[in-house]
Every structure is written in structure tokens, then in C-alpha cells.
Chain A
Amino acid sequence: MSTISTQLRNFKEPTKDQLTHVFFSIPEAPPVPAKDKEKHGSGEVETMEINAILSLGAQGVEDSYAGKLYLLPPYLAFSSLDRKSVRFTLPLSTVRRVERLNARAGVYALSLSTWHGMKIIVQLTSLRPTADLFCSLLREALKVELQRGQMKAVKGFVKTCYSEGLVSASGVSENEREDGSLITETKDGSPPPEVEFHGGLGLQFKFPGDPKKLREASKIKLWTTYLKNHGRNLTLLRYPQCTRLVQVGLPNRLRAEMWETLSGSIYLRYSNPGVYHQVLLDIEGKSSTSFEDIEKDLHRSLPEYAGYQADEGISALRRVLQAYSNRNPEVGYCQAMNILAAAILIYMSEEQAFWLLEVLCDRLLPGYYSTTMHGTLLDQRVFESLVARCLPMISDHFQEVDVQLSVASLPWFLSLYINSMPMVFAFRIVDCFFCMGPKVLFQVGLAILKINGEKLLQIQDDGGFLNLMREYFASLGDSAHPESADPRARAITRFQELLLISFREFAVITDDTILSERRKYRNEIVNSIESFNKRSAVRNLKTLGRFTKDQAGFIYDALYKAMCEVPPPPTAAPLPLLLTTANEGNQERVETRIGLQTFRVFLSEILTWARNERIVINGFQQRIDREVAEHELIVRLFYFWDESCKGSLSFQDLVYGLDGVMFNDLMENIEWFFNLHDKNKDGYLTKDEVLTLSESFLFIFRYEIGDAYLGAVSKFMTNAFEYGDSLLPHQTDGETGETGPQQIGHNQPYLNLATFRMVVLADEVLESFFETDLSASFRLDPVPDLELPPASSGFLGDLWSNIATQDNKKIFHKLSDELGKTIGKHQILYRPIIGRLTKLEEPTARESLISPSSIKTPLSGGSSDTLAASNSSSTLVVDALSNQDNDGPSSALASAAFSPMPHFRAVNAAFMERTPFAIDDAGDDDDDDSDLEMIDVDNDDQVMDEVDAFLEAHDSGLSEADKELAKDLLNASPVK
């Protein structure tokens, strides 16, 4: 029993827009605005970016920074050019006022006032019309927010943030929304009487660590100042000092709010009010395998913390984990999530934790907790490569003594170090993680290895490595330089040293590094996971039948490919793949079963008559288009193999079913075919069934050349009814001979196996069909064997896959077809299924065949379609051009055989050649029109690409100039 998931195939590289959203922690595709967009018809150019210079209204607080201002409704975001110094993400609803500043000529400046009374000044340094456009879009977007009533939501929402009380209580703003008691009780950690802000279990059960040692009071003071000047929660501006403050550790009370602000989960909570409570209502009384797993782990999550020895903590943890698993059933629940949730619940309210968990699992640690844990494996691979690059000696030593880095580092990443380090330290890493992103995990990991470098070079095995790490983590609170004479140096703890090295020495590890490394290793990981799954699926088969393990592997490949292909929306398993839970609530051990549609595709992979193969010759290439055949016979086969009558087939069913036909001899084949059509399994075919069986023959022989098969089938029918009637003598004899057949109802038992056999054997063609051709029409080894390459090459990630998408291939094929039509070389033939009688036309074609093996190799790296074409050894992949007289493209096409990439070029080359044709045949017909369109589309794309490229260059050129100008401006006259 095995679960087969094609989920990994659905990965797509994030687009530039998505990356921007991720960078600004803006929730993707916010559900409400999507509707509003249509309602208000606020145009297509919704989002926009523009060069700008940011300065704070209050003078002298911070420097000005040049960067880019993004309008991403319902957010306004800014990032400095270096992408790290300054940034903000403002929900538009927190913008209370926008004024155009009356400044010097040539300066286009806006002053934005936020909810918190902060003034942000942005100079738009792009050209005037661009700036105008931006302003009008901004105005539109603000109007939309106003109409949505979001402006009012702000007031209620900010009350849930601790900073509001913190700032107002220090008496600077005349904010009467909070009571003053809040601040007086902050220090001792007991909850104030009326808590409006969200907080975690720590309010009640104390926060880990000694507040004095953590210097809570002075941290709070620093933060109060910062939050007062730079905005807070929804309106926080992140200047360099913010990052520095985070790096020294967040104060306990502020942690919840800062975590959600820095990670962006605050925007989710803000834009989805009440959702968490709705989810809780939804899951009431529900049960799932995830819930069972969660239950097992509830009492095993940070059990040493007082809050989790009490019912309160446990049930909060249960609710949050259940709610998340319900919201994202694809992830469900993964061990380690309990530890994360337990940790953040110390500081955060359930609602906050719920949203933070979502950001964590979906955005910050993508794929970490999925059922395949591919994200975890991928990042381990990335970490390994970073170690090899940054710490080659350690990496070499590990290889030498065969120590696997992941044995230690995997839990680091999976539980954000919470499980590895003492909690107080782990939380500080978590602080940085939320502020600076996933790269922190890598930086810290590298620093740990670097600090322990010398000792690591001594270790001999995995165990030694783990022990060393354990000792090190236990000593993080100790002085890093105990011997030093300087008391200040002595005061530096090992943990501080760790952070320092992480962020100083490994600052080279950037988000981009991580992204590009992930891209690099993604295929490798996906392949290893898939081949691992394949091995276990084959291993877990109850019976291999007469197949070898390799052959079972081929069946698996075909099944896998079918699963990738068929469900056009394959994200959710339910539709095409019926997921049935194997007996009992067996955790995650769900057997994958395929439905009829997937089965069709599967069968078309290994059974020649389950597919139509069209040989398309268009003068440039000859390829074979494969289609899945539709016929009642295939449906019949599906139910024939569905022995457990579930309306779906498992991998085991397929193996078993194929085993029942692929190893048969003549007699067994006849019997098999008979049984296939004997629906009620009474050992007799009815007349209807005989007819159906004949139709099946016709279907199987549909592309055979010549009349032999047709003749055989009609002979079969005549004989079958003749013998059948003659074998019903007792009944017919009683009547007059003619009426006999009528008397036997069409669904009465009519023809038994022996008779059927006789009839079949009476015909040479049918006999040879059952003798060899039927079994041979199932082809295991060659087909899936060649199916593998697309999995290992391309398909995901690399450049080629971007070009070789199914769509592009289709376009390419269509193009070349159209071209072929234009030059009159387009031709479609159906490939015979059995192909025994091919004498009619083959010989000449054979001459032009190049040996199949020589074609297979160059193509093996290519797309699945072309592969499919080269599958069957008798295929006619012809060097089409060698026969053609078209010289121009032929040279290009000669190289086309080697990689699909030049195919594209070939088409382009063909375009060049083609033009005269187009003119010549200008008035020809529709074909040409579509032809032209096709080309236009393609050309447009290319042009757009170029324009894009230009824009890029243009933009950066401008921003360079802008920067200069901006500096001048700043120095010359501060904007009013």
C-alpha cells in the first residue's frame, strides 16, 4: 500500500511579483480586494513601482534613503536600494492624509500622515508623468480602502497591539485609548487587570529567562523611543536601528507584536478578522488523522514550561495546531510544528500564533512540514553546499570520516533551534529570523560550525559530532573569553559571539544566495524523493506477480506520469485520485488510487491500442502525437481490474491486472479476453457481449493497414453466431430453425469459452493476435524507461524548463504544423497498433529511417512529448529534411535533433525563411491567417521580452541618476 504524490511536480518558480510580495511580507492575493477590483473597475495598472527618496517628517531622526516606492494595493511599500537599510509596508488604510508638498521646482514630494501621527516624506524622483500617474493610482487605491471601511478597522485593531499602551503610557502622545495601569505593571510580568492587547501564556506563566539578565527594562525603553518615532505595528518603519534592536533581543512583552510585524503575519490577522474563531467553530467535533497526531504530541511540547503542564496551555496549543491543520490540510500536522507552536504561544495569543504559523509554514519555511518534507531536505542540501563553500576544511573532513551534516543540522532548521538551544537563546535567533528572514538559519548554522571548527576536525563519527554540538549549546551562556583580562571581553557570552559571527562573517549569505541555491538543488531533491517513493512503493507491493522489480518500477513510472498529466488541476488530490484511508485511522498511510481518467492515460503509456499515435509530417520535423484513446473497452478493463469494486485502482491492482495478461500464452489470452467481456462471469457471453467483443476487436485493429483485420473480425462475427446458434440445438430444434436466435434474449448466456476459442482459432489473423500480439501490445520496459528523463532533466527549475513548457511545445508544434501546411508538407498518418501488415506503404519509408537508437539519445534530455515520439523502436522519426529541398531551415534543423532548445531557434530561422511564402500565399485561406497570428503572438512575446529588458536597464540607469540628484537635494534644502 503506498501513497503516491505528484505534488512536487507542481512547483513553480516564484514570479517577480510574488517575490516582491514575499519581500514586503504582503499576503498574496488578498481575497477581498480581488473582488473589489472588479467592482470598482480601478483599471489594470493596479500596482506600480516608482523611484523615491524616503525621509522622516521629524528632522534629524534618521537619514534619508533612496529606494523604490511600491503601490501594491491595499499596501504601500518602500524599500531602500540596498533592500535592507529601510523599508516599510503600510496598509493603505493606515494612511490618513496625503499631501503634495510645495517644494522647489522640479521636486515632486508627497507627505504621508499615518494613523500613528507619523509623517513620512517621499520624493518621487521619476519623471513627472510617471509621478502623476503614481499619485492618481494612489488616490484611487485609497478611495477603495475608504469605501471598504478598512479605515475604521484600524482603530480597533491597533488596540490589540502591546506597543500602543507602551507608547501612550510613557505620556508622550495624548492617546486615551489605553489605561495607565498597563505600564506600571509591565516589569513584574503579571497581567494588568484589563488586557486589551494580545499576549501569550507568558503573561500568566512567566516568560523564560531572568528579566534582569535579559535587561528587559532598558530594552523596553529603547523600543518605546523607536516605536514613538518610527511608527509601530501596522505602520512600523524599519530603519537600521530596528534591526539592531532586534538583534540584541526583543523584550518579552513586545515579542508577540514585533514577531507578527516583522514576519508580516500581522497583515494576515488584520485583513482576516474573525477568521481564526471561525476556523475553531468549523473544526468543532471534527476529527482527522492530523488531529490524532496532534493529540499524541500535545503533552510532549516544551513539557518543561509551566504553561504546558496546565490545561490552559495544552488546550491553546491544541486549538492552534488543529486550526492550522484544518486551514492547510495539505500540510496538516508535522512533528516539530508542535514545538514551534508551543514556543510562540508563550508570547502570542492564539490568533496571533495561528497567523504566524501560517506565515512560517507557507512563506518562511516553504515545504518544511509538507508530507514529503521536501523543503527541509532541500535546505539541508543548500546548507551542505554553503558549508562546502564557506568552510571547506570542515566539509572535507566530514566527507572523509563519513559524517552527515544533517544529523545535527536538520533539527536546527526544522525547529528554528528551539529544540537545540536553551530557550532564551533560541528565541533570540527566532527574533532575528522573523526580522531578517530564513537566511538567518543558515548564517547561524555556519557560525556554529565555524566556532567549533577545530573540534569538528577531530570528530570521527556522527555520534561525536552530535555530542560536540550538544556540549556547545549547553555552554552558550558561558563567557566566550573567560581568560581575557578585559572584563568587557569576559562579559561577552558565547551566544553573543555566535550572533556576531553569524551576522558579520556570514553576511555574504543573502536571501538571493539562498534562493539561487535552492533553485540549483531543487531537482536533485525532487528526484531523490521521487525515486525513494518509487522504491518504497514497489517494495510495499504485496505481490509483484511475475514481474521483476524493475518492471514494477516501470509500471510505477507510467502510473506516476499519468498522475502528473491527467489531473489538469492536480493540486488537490480528491478528484482524480480517490484517497481512501486504509483501514483504521492509520496515520497518513493513505493508499493512492486512480480514477478512470488517470487510468486511461496510464494505459496509453504501456498499451499500444490504448493510444492513438498520429504521425505528423510537416516538412520540418516528423513527430508522433500521442492521444489517449477513448473506448468502452478501456472502461471495461478498468472495472475488470478493480477487483475490490472501489471504482478506483491502486498500484497493486494495476500490477496484478497487468500480470494477468502480459505473461499469457495463446489459450490464456483467449480466456482473458473472453473473461474481460463476460460481465457477469457466468462463463457465457451473451449476444450483446459477442457484439461488444467484436467492437473491441475493431477498436484494437482500428489503424491496421489493409483489409485483413477487418476481414478477420467480420469472419469472426459470422462464425461466432453460426457456431453459437448451432450450439443451441435443443432449444432451436424445438422451434423452427430461423426463430432460434431470437428466442435467446440478447442478454442470455449464449457463447461459452470453448466455442469462443474455436471461433477464434478458426482464423489465422485472430490466432496470431492472441498468440503474440495481444501480450506484446503491453510494452513495459521500453516505454517507461524512456519516460524517466523528463523527471531528471528539466521539468522544474532550470532555464530549459522555462522554455520547454507543455504550452510552448504545443505552440512550437502548432507553428511548425502551420508552416508545414503553408509549404504543403503537412501530413498526418495514424500509426498502426500491431503493425504486422505494413507492406502496403512501408518499404520506402523504411529507407529514410535513421536508426532509432541514434535518435533516442539526443532526445532523451528533452521533453516528454518528443520522448514519447521516440519511444517505440519502430517509430518513424525521420530526418525529415534530408528528403526535403528546403535548404535554409534544414541546417538549423539538423542541430534541432540534439536538443529541444535549437528547435526553437529552428522555428525562428524558419520564420526568416517563411516570410516570402506568407506574401506569396497572402490570399490563400484561413490556415494562413492563423499562421500569421501565431507568429505575431510569438514575435510579440519576444518584443515584450526585449522591452522588459530595456525597461530594466532604463530603470536602473535612471535610479543612478536619481540617487545623485537626491543626494544633492537632500544636502541643499530639506523638503518642507
Chain B
Amino acid sequence: MTDAASGSVDRSVQVKLVLLGEAAVGKSSVVLRFVSNEFQANKEPTIGAAFLTQKCRLEDRVLRYEIWDTAGQERFHSLAPMYYRNAQAAVVVYDVTKATSLEKAKSWVKELQRQANPNIVIALAGNKVDLVQTSPSSSGSSPSPESEDEADDATATPGEAPSASGGEPESLRQVPREEAQAYATEAGLLFFETSAKTGEGIVEIFTEIAKKIPIEHILASTRGSAGRSAGRVGGARQEVNLEEQQSKKDACNC
């Protein structure tokens, strides 16, 4: 990220990112939250795939995400290769309140690891955590989960919630955080629990991906440093959060 990246500060780096996951786990909502910081309760289902772009600044780089938000219904599965070909990153989304959606996510990960671009950076996102955070007090300063405040507030305290959320009151939760985390570590994925509704964890996904993506590889397409940091998921999270606080607001010029 030294030469190549610094040379590209002005020129943004294009990153093709694809969202995959079972129907109605909130793929489109995750994207919408990231791209325009909104949440719509009733989002039209995606036919084929929706295409959105968003710029994201990280340190000295500007990334331009080209996001392919795919349809989740099983029968659209055979169309997916059309969208994930050449993708440098993928976010595989599941719903923490639905155990089967994690199974589907795993099969997506398998497919990506075998069929997609070999250098692809994959993030696993357990969405809809707002539904399982019944006691707002547990997640410190995070705003009430029901609220649909501006994302500035909503995302102000990402990463803290999970520590408390491993606990008790989560009656709706079907996928324990630890289980998903363990799987992600084993499969070499980035892992987040998110809420498109509150905004929790959303920006982090994209920032983490940005960090992990071999920019040099994309720019020069010669020096390929593939999965150089597969195992450092946990530690990396903390770093991001620190700089995330201030960078995010202006970085993603929505």
C-alpha cells in the first residue's frame, strides 16, 4: 500500500463487491444503509441484482465500491455467478434470528471460495441484531435499538454491543455470536454482527474490507498479496473502531 496506493490518492480505486445471502436477510437494507444512510422498512425485492456505488475513504486511499446487491431467492442462485465474477469482495449476509440463513451463508462462502476470484475478500455479516438487543443498557452508549436515528448516532458505538449481546435476553436469537465467529475464523472471513436498521456494524464491514483488499493487486494487478491477514479478524476490529469514529462521517460522503 505504499507506492501504488499513494499514487492513487486522487484517483479512486474501484472495488467490485457483491452481496449474497438468503432472501429477506436484509442485503439490500445493508447496502442502503451504507450508500445513503437510510432504512426502508419495505424495500422492493431485488430482481436479478441492484447496482449501487459508494465512495469510501480509508487512510490515504479512496475506494469506490461498486456494489452488486443480488436477489436472495433460491431460484436466483444460478444467476449469482454473473454477479460475483471478478468481484474483489463479498459480503455474505445472514439473519441472526434465523438459523437456516447461516447454513445458506456457509454454502455461499463455499461457493465463493471455489468459484469466485481467488483473492476475494469475504465478510460474514449477521444482520438484524437490533432484534435481539432487548436491553439497550447492555450495549453502553448505543442508542435504543428501535430508534431510527441518524446513522451518525447509530453507528457511533459499533463493536461494543457484541460484548454484551452474547448474554441472556436474546430470545429471538438463533445464531449465537460465538458460533458464527468461530466459523468465520475457521473459514478465514471477516465477521460482523450488524443492524441495517440501527446502522450498527455496517460501515465497519466496508472499512474492514477496504483494509483487507489487496489494493496494489487491483491497481497494478501484478503484485498480488492475497489473503495476507486471514486470521486477524478479532484484533483488527478494535483498530477500525478507533479510527472509525471520526473518519466515517466525512469518509463516506453520502
Contact of B75 among A334, A407, A584 (CB under 8 A): A334
Judging by beta carbons under 8 Å apart, are B51 and A463 in contact?
yes
**Within 8 Å of chain B (Cβ to Cβ): is A955?**
no
| Residues in chain B near residue A302, CB distance under 8 A | 44
Q: Given the complex, which residues of A lie within 8 Å of B53, measured CB to CB?
A: 463
Encode B38-58 as 1/0 by CB contact (under 8 A) with A: 000111111111010100000
Q: Is A297 an interface residue (CB 8 A)?
A: yes
Cβ of A808 under 8 Å from chain B: no
Supposing A373-B79, A404-B82, A406-B82 touch, asked if A334 and B73 sit within 8 A by C-beta, the answer is yes
Complex formed: what's the CA distance from A587 to B22 in Å? 9
Tell which of A372, A411, A461, A467 touches B48, judged by Cβ atoms closer than 8 Å: A411
CB < 8 Å neighbour of A372 from B23, B43, B78, B99: B78
Judging by beta carbons under 8 Å apart, are B51 and A589 in contact?
no
CB-defined contacts of A299 to chain B, threshold 8 Å: 41-42
Q: Does B74 reach chain A (CB closer than 8 Å)?
A: yes
Flag whether A335 is at the interface (Cβ < 8 A). Answer: yes
Q: Looking at the complex, which one of B47, B78, B104 makes contact with A335 (CB distance below 8 Å)?
A: B47
* Inter-subunit contact B78/A532 (CB<8 Å): yes
Instruction: Tell me whether A296 and B23 are in contact in the complex, defined as CB-CB below 8 angstroms, given that A407-B48, A419-B47, A532-B78 are known contacts.
Output: yes
Q: How far is the CB of A5 from chain B (nearest CB, A)?
A: 11
Q: Does B223 contact A (CB under 8 A)?
A: no
**A339 at the A/B interface (Cβ < 8 Å)?**
yes
**A313-350 with Cβ < 8 A to chain B:** 334-336, 338-339
Given contacts A335-B23, A407-B82, contact A584 B47 (CB under 8 A): no
Q: Which of chain A's residues have a CB closer than 8 A to the CB of B51?
A: 407, 462-463, 466-467
Contacts of B42 in A (CB 8 A): 299-300, 303
Residues of B within 8 A of A372 (CB): 75, 78
User: Known contacts being A407-B48, A589-B100, is A371 close to B75, with CB within 8 Å?
Assistant: yes
Q: Are B76 and A300 in contact (CB under 8 A)?
A: no
A404 to B107, CA, bound (A): 25
Does B66 sit at the interface, judged by CB under 8 A? yes
* B219 CB to nearest A CB, Å: 16
**Complex formed: what's the CA distance from A462 to B84 in Å?**
12
> Could you list 13 further interchain pairs (A-B, Cβ under 8 angstroms) beyond the known A369-B75, A587-B22?
A296-B45, A299-B41, A299-B42, A302-B44, A303-B44, A335-B45, A335-B76, A407-B49, A411-B47, A419-B47, A462-B66, A467-B51, A586-B100
Q: Which of B100-136 contact A (CB under 8 A)?
A: 100, 103-104, 107, 110-111, 114-115
Q: Is the CB of B49 within 8 A of A338?
A: no
Q: A296-B24, A372-B75, A373-B78 are in contact. Are A540 and B47 (CB under 8 A)?
A: no
Rounded to whole angstroms, the CA-CA distance of A853 and B62 in the bound complex is 60
Q: Please, which residue of chain A has its CB at the minimum distance from the CB of B46?
A: A335
Of all chain A residues, the one with the shortest Cβ separation from B41 is A299
Q: Which of B23, B43, B83 lies in contact with A407, CB distance below 8 A? A: B83
Residue among B66, B110, B114 making CB contact with A463, cutoff 8 Å = B66
Tell whether B71 is near chain A: CB-to-CB under 8 Å: yes
- Assuming the A-B contacts A300-B43, A463-B66, A532-B78, are A587 and B48 also in contact, with contact meaning beta carbons closer than 8 angstroms in the complex? no
Chain A residue at minimum C-beta to C-beta distance from B85: A404
* A contact face: mostly helix, strand, loop, or mixed: loop
Interface 1/0 per residue, A272-312 and B, CB below 8 Å: 00000000000000000000010011011111000000000
Q: Mark B1-37, 1 if CB is under 8 A from A, else 0.
A: 0000000000000100000001110000000000000
Check A884 for interface membership: any CB of B closer than 8 A.
no
- List A contacts of B100 (CB < 8 A): 583-584, 586, 589
Closest to B106 in A: A540
A757 within 8 A of B: no
CB-based contact A587/B43 at 8 Å? no
Tell yes or no: A444 within 8 A of B by CB: no
Chain B residues lying within 8 Å of A300, measured Cβ to Cβ, are 42-45
A22 interface residue (CB < 8 Å to B): no
Minimal beta-carbon separation of A11 from chain B (angstroms): 17
Closest-CB distance, B1 to chain A (whole angstroms) = 23
B83 to chain A: which residues have CB within 8 Å? 407
**In the bound complex, CA of A443 to CA of B13 (Å):** 37
Query: In angstroms, how far is the closest chain A Cβ from the Cβ of B77?
Result: 8
Most A CB within 10 A of own CB, among B22, B71, B78: B78
Minimum Cβ distance to chain A for residue B20 (Å): 13
Any B CB within 8 A of the CB of A536: yes
Say how far B102's CB is from chain A's closest CB, in angstroms: 11
Residues of chain B within 8 A (CB-CB) of A432 are none
A539 within 8 A of partner (CB): yes
**Do residues B44 and A293 form an inter-chain contact, with CB atoms below 8 A?**
no
A415 CB–B CB distance under 8 Å: yes
Q: Is A137 an interface residue (CB 8 A)?
A: no
Contact among B14, B24, B44, B78 with A529 in the assembled complex (CB-CB below 8 Å)? B78
Among B71, B104, B111, which residue has its beta carbon within 8 angstroms of that of A539?
Answer: B111
> Across the interface, do A587 and B47 meet the contact criterion of CB distance under 8 Å?
no
Any chain B CB within 8 A of the CB of A414?
Answer: yes
Give, as a whole number of angstroms, the nearest-CB distance from A771 to chain B.
37
Between A and B, 30 residue pairs with Cβ closer than 8 Å are A293-B23, A293-B73, A296-B23, A299-B41, A299-B42, A300-B44, A300-B45, A301-B44, A334-B75, A335-B46, A335-B73, A335-B76, A372-B75, A404-B82, A406-B48, A407-B51, A407-B82, A407-B83, A414-B48, A461-B66, A462-B66, A463-B51, A532-B81, A533-B78, A536-B77, A536-B111, A539-B107, A540-B110, A584-B100, A587-B74
Q: Which residues of A contact B46 (CB under 8 A)?
A: 335
Query: Does A370 touch B at the CB level, under 8 Å?
Result: yes
Give the complex CA separation of A466 and B77 in angstroms.
Answer: 21
0/1 string, A818-829, CB within 8 A of B gives 1: 000000000000
A744 within 8 Å of B (CB atoms)? no
- Chain A residues 509 to 562 lying within 8 A of chain B, measured CB to CB, are 529, 532-533, 535-536, 539-540
Q: Shortest beta-carbon distance, A325 to chain B, in Å? A: 13
Q: Which residues of A sit under 8 angstroms from B14, Cβ to Cβ?
A: 461
| Residue of A419, A467, A587, A588 with most chain B CB atoms under a 10 A cut-off | A587
- Known A-B contacts A335-B71, A407-B83; the reply to A540 vs B107 at CB < 8 A is yes
Which residue, B48, B66, B100, has most C-beta atoms of chain A within 10 A?
B48
Q: Top 4 A-B pairs ranked by shortest CB distance?
A: A588-B74, A299-B42, A410-B48, A411-B47
| B75-A336 in contact (CB<8A) | no
The answer to whether residues A588 and B78 also contact, given A411-B48, A463-B66 and a CB cut-off of 8 A, is: no
- Asked whether B47 lies within 8 Å of A415 as measured between CB atoms, the reply is yes
| Chain B residues within 8 Å of A690, by CB | none
- CB contacts (< 8 Å) of A407 on chain B: these are 48-49, 51, 82-83
A404-B82, A463-B53 given; A589·B45 CB < 8 A: no
Please state if B43 and A370 are interface contacts (CB–CB under 8 Å): no
* Contact partners of B107 in chain A: CB under 8 A: 536, 539-540
- A360 interfacial contact with B, CB 8 Å: no
B78 close to A587 (CB less than 8 A): no
Closest to B75 in A: A371
Q: Are A588 and B75 in contact (CB under 8 A)?
A: yes
Selected from B23, B78, B110, B114, the residue in CB contact (under 8 A) with A377 is: B78
| Assembled-state Cα–Cα distance A462/B68 (Å) | 10
Closest chain A residue, CB of each to CB of B81: A532
Residues on B with beta carbons closer than 8 Å to the beta carbon of A373: 75-76, 78-79
Which partner residue on chain B sits nearest A529 by CB separation? B78
Chain B residue numbers with a CB within 8 Å of A535 are 115
CB closest chain-B residue, reference A369: B75
Specify which of B23, B82, B86 is in contact with A587 (CB 8 Å cutoff): B23
Inter-chain contacts of A335 with B (CB < 8 A): 23, 45-47, 71, 73, 76
Q: Which residue of chain A has the shortest Cβ distance to B22 in the bound complex?
A: A587
| Contact of A339 with B47 at beta-carbon distance under 8 Å, contacts A296-B24, A406-B82, A584-B100 already known | yes
Q: Which residues of B contact A584 (CB under 8 A)?
A: 99-100
C-alpha gap A406/B80 in the complex (Å):
12
Q: Is the CB of B23 within 8 A of A336?
A: no
A213-238 interface (Cβ within 8 A of B): none
Q: With A and B bound together, what is the CA distance between A372 and B23 in angstroms?
A: 16
0/1 string, B191-227, CB within 8 A of A gives 1:
0000000000000000000000000000000000000
